[in-house]
Structure 1
Amino acid sequence: NGFDSYFGIPYSNDMDRVQTAPRGRTAFLKPKIEYWNVPLMKNNSIIERPAQQTTITRRYTEAAIEFIEKKKDQPFFLYLPHSLPHVPLFRSPAFAGQSRRGLYGDVIEEIDWSVGQVLNTLKRCGIDQHTLVFFTSDNGPWLIFNEHGGSAGLLRDGKGSTWEGGMREPTLAWWPGTIKAGSVSAAVSSTMDIYATALNQAAIPLPKDRTLDSYDLTPVLTGTGTSGRKLLFYYRGYRLMAVRKGPWKMHLMTQNAYGQKDPVKHDPPQLYHLEHDPGENYELGKQHPEVITDLMQDIKKHQQALKPAPSQLEL
Structure 2
Amino acid sequence: MAYNNNYLLPIKRLGQACLLAGLGLSTLSMGAVAEDKPERPNIVIMLSDNLGYGDLGSYGGGITRGAPTPRLDALAEEGMRFTNFNVEAECTPSRSSLMTGRMPIRSGTTRAVPVPGLPVGLAPWEYTIAEMLKDQGYNTAMYGKWHLGYVEDRLPINQGFDEWWGFPFSTDVSWFPDAVGFDPDLFETPRLYEGKAGEGIKLLQPYDKTVRPFIDSIIAEKSVAYIKEHAGDEEPFFLYIPWSLVHHPSIAHPDFQGKSGAGKYGDAMMEHDHRVGQVLDAIKEAGISDNTLVIYASDNGPDRAEYPYVGNSGQYRGYLGTVHEGSIRTPMIARWPNKIPAKVATNEIVSINDIFPTVASIVGGEVPDDRAIDGVDQKDFFLGKQEKSNRESVLFLAGEHITGVKWRQFKIYMHGESPDIDKRGYQELWAPQAYNLQLDPQERHDIALQNLWLLAAGLKPVFEYVYSVEKYGLILPGGDKPEVYEVSNIPFYSPEALELTMSSIKKEAVKQMIKDKFNQLVGKEGK
Q: Please report the TM-score for the alignment, with normalisation by the length of structure 2.
A: 0.55
1:40 aligns with 2:192: yes
Deviations 1:121-170, CA, capped at 9 Å, x for gaps: 11111211111111111111112421233121321121111111121111
Aligned partners of 1:106, 1:37: CA distance in 2, in Å?
27
Query: Aligned residue for 2:162?
Result: 4
What is the number of equivalent residue pairs in this alignment? 304
Aligned partners of 2:336, 2:246: CA distance in 1, in Å?
25
Letter in 2 for 1:296: L
Letter in 2 for 1:7: W
Indicate the SS of the match to 1:129.
Answer: helix
Aligned partners of 1:180, 1:259: CA distance in 2, in Å?
41
* Distance apart, 1:294 and its partner CA: 3.4
Aligned partners of 1:290, 1:141: CA distance in 2, in Å?
33
Aligned partners of 1:98, 1:22: CA distance in 2, in Å?
31
Aligned partners of 1:16, 1:59: CA distance in 2, in Å?
16
Query: Aligned residue for 1:29?
Result: none
Alpha-carbon contact 1:144-1:259 (below 8 Å) kept: no
Aligned partners of 1:214, 1:188: CA distance in 2, in Å?
12
Query: Aligned residue for 1:110?
Result: 271
Alpha-carbon contact 1:163-1:254 (below 8 Å) kept: no
Indicate the SS of the match to 2:430.
Answer: strand
Alpha-carbon contact 2:302-2:327 (below 8 Å) kept: yes
Between 302-311 and 198-207, report the one with greater CA deviation.
302-311
Of structures 1 and 2, the one with the larger relative CO (CA 8 A, separation 6+) is 2
Query: Aligned residue for 1:311?
Result: 476
Query: Aligned residue for 1:27?
Result: none
Query: Aligned residue for 2:406?
Result: 244
Aligned partners of 2:461, 2:216: CA distance in 1, in Å?
43
Indicate the SS of the match to 1:300.
Answer: helix
Query: Aligned residue for 2:216?
Result: 57
Letter in 2 for 1:42: E
* Distance apart, 1:312 and its partner CA: 5.5
Indicate the SS of the match to 1:121.
Answer: helix
Query: Aligned residue for 1:32?
Result: none
* Distance apart, 1:94 and its partner CA: 1.3
Indicate the SS of the match to 2:242.
Answer: coil
1:287 aligns with 2:446: no
Indicate the SS of the match to 1:14.
Answer: helix
- Fraction of identical pairs, as percent: 28
Q: Which runs of 5+ in 1 are unaligned?
A: 24-35
Would you tell me which structure has more helix in proportion to its own residues?
Answer: 2
Aligned partners of 1:137, 1:37: CA distance in 2, in Å?
27
Aligned partners of 1:294, 1:21: CA distance in 2, in Å?
48
Letter in 1 for 2:402: L
1:70-109 aligned within 5 A = 70-72=229-231, 73=233, 74-109=235-270
Alpha-carbon contact 2:359-2:379 (below 8 Å) kept: no
* Distance apart, 1:288 and its partner CA: 0.8
Letter in 2 for 1:253: H
* Distance apart, 1:184 and its partner CA: 0.6
* Distance apart, 1:298 and its partner CA: 3.8
Indicate the SS of the match to 2:351.
Answer: coil
Alpha-carbon contact 1:215-1:227 (below 8 Å) kept: no
Q: Which runs of 5+ in 2 are unaligned?
A: 1-155, 182-187, 196-200, 481-527
* Distance apart, 1:82 and its partner CA: 0.9
Alpha-carbon contact 1:252-1:267 (below 8 Å) kept: no
Distance 1:312 1:297, change over 3 A: closer
Aligned partners of 2:468, 2:369: CA distance in 1, in Å?
14
Alpha-carbon contact 2:381-2:390 (below 8 Å) kept: no
Distance 1:120 1:179, change over 3 A: same
Q: Please report the TM-score for the alignment, with normalisation by the length of structure 1.
A: 0.89
Distance 1:42 1:22, change over 3 A: same
Query: Aligned residue for 1:154?
Result: 315
Indicate the SS of the match to 1:136.
Answer: strand
* Distance apart, 1:220 and its partner CA: 2.4
Distance 1:175 1:297, change over 3 A: closer
Distance 1:211 1:277, change over 3 A: same
Aligned partners of 1:142, 1:302: CA distance in 2, in Å?
29
Select the structure of larger CA radius of gyration: 2
Deviations 1:282-301, CA, capped at 9 Å, x for gaps: 11111111112332244223
Of 319, 331, 335, the match for 1:174: 335
1:66 aligns with 2:225: yes
Aligned partners of 1:243, 1:136: CA distance in 2, in Å?
21
Alpha-carbon contact 1:17-1:37 (below 8 Å) kept: no
* Cα-Cα RMSD: 2.2
Aligned partners of 2:177, 2:274: CA distance in 1, in Å?
35
Letter in 1 for 2:263: G
1:256 aligns with 2:414: no
* Distance apart, 1:245 and its partner CA: 1.1
Aligned partners of 1:298, 1:157: CA distance in 2, in Å?
23
Alpha-carbon contact 1:187-1:220 (below 8 Å) kept: no
Aligned partners of 1:197, 1:13: CA distance in 2, in Å?
30
Alpha-carbon contact 1:216-1:227 (below 8 Å) kept: no
Alpha-carbon contact 1:162-1:236 (below 8 Å) kept: yes
Aligned partners of 1:312, 1:147: CA distance in 2, in Å?
34
Alpha-carbon contact 1:252-1:266 (below 8 Å) kept: yes
Of 266, 269, 294, the match for 2:432: 269
Letter in 2 for 1:41: Y
Indicate the SS of the match to 2:411.
Answer: strand
Alpha-carbon contact 1:158-1:165 (below 8 Å) kept: yes
Letter in 2 for 1:275: Q
Alpha-carbon contact 2:192-2:205 (below 8 Å) kept: yes
Indicate the SS of the match to 1:47.
Answer: strand
Between 182-191 and 258-267, report the one with greater CA deviation.
258-267
